[in-house]
Amino acid sequence: MTPALWLRPGSTPLLPDPDEAREWAQRELADPVYRAAEPTAFDRAAQAVRDFLESLFSAPVSGDWGPWAFVVLAVLVVAAIVVGVLIWGRPRSTVRATPAARALFDDDDGRSAAELRADAAAAAGRGTWDDAIVLRFRAFARGLTERGIVDPPPGATARAFARSAAETLPVLGIPAAEGAAAFDDVRYLGRPGTAESYDQIVRLDETAVRARVSSEAAVAP
């Protein structure tokens, strides 16, 4: 508080004139201590909810309590929602993000199975069988991972992927092993690809798609 002015010990304090008194009061109220003591928006909202509930429960009651019970329950639910919004904010809608495609066979290729099939067909049309074989086998593998049939660990080889596919869909056993061998021949051993090898992997991919549809139909009610 702003101290009063004294002339000397035992004398009467000097009283400020109205302008000085107003200035002293404004200076005193500008102290941060007073602002910190003011209620926050959350305090005022919580007090409003409490006042409303108190007025509800203090209302005179007569007759059956049945309708009042539903009113009280509804008010409590609304109050809980209001308090939750004030504390945690408005809930956000959950957005499902499509998981990023995993790397396949030491290549971080994010193309979908459909895109890989289209690129493989374009390479085959140009007669570049090495690229066509690699892309089509990747399309076969990507298709199985997109459908959740095979979930290969990071760094899985083409042959390991073929074994995992055969365990889930036995019809792919021999064709998948042969397709993985053709992929390795072209990708790692430098052997030239052929139209026959490409057609073999195309049939493997098509068989995988049909096998998936057949398995879904088998479990359908």
Phi, psi angles (nearest 5°) of residue 4: -75, 155
Show the tokens assigned to 13.
Answer: 């304090």
d(CA 205, CA 211): 10
pLDDT value for 39? 66
Residues 6 or more apart from 195 whose CB is under 8 A from it? 124, 129
Show the tokens assigned to 42.
Answer: 């959350």
Return mean pLDDT, the chain: 75
Tell me which residue has tokens 């199985």.
144
Q: Express each pLDDT in 145-185 by its tens digit.
A: 999 888 888 888 999 999 999 999 999 999 999 999 999 99
Facing residues of 5 across strands?
Answer: 14
pLDDT value for 104? 74
pLDDT value for 50? 72
Average pLDDT over residues 136-143: 94
Show the tokens assigned to 190.
Answer: 């430098």
Q: Express each pLDDT in 28-78 by its tens digit.
A: 666 665 555 566 666 777 777 677 666 655 555 555 555 565 666 677 777
pLDDT value for 58? 59
CA distances from 212 to 2, 35, 145, 186 (A): 86, 69, 12, 27
pLDDT value for 45? 72
pLDDT value for 164? 92
- Name the percent of the chain lying above pLDDT 70: 57
pLDDT value for 42? 67
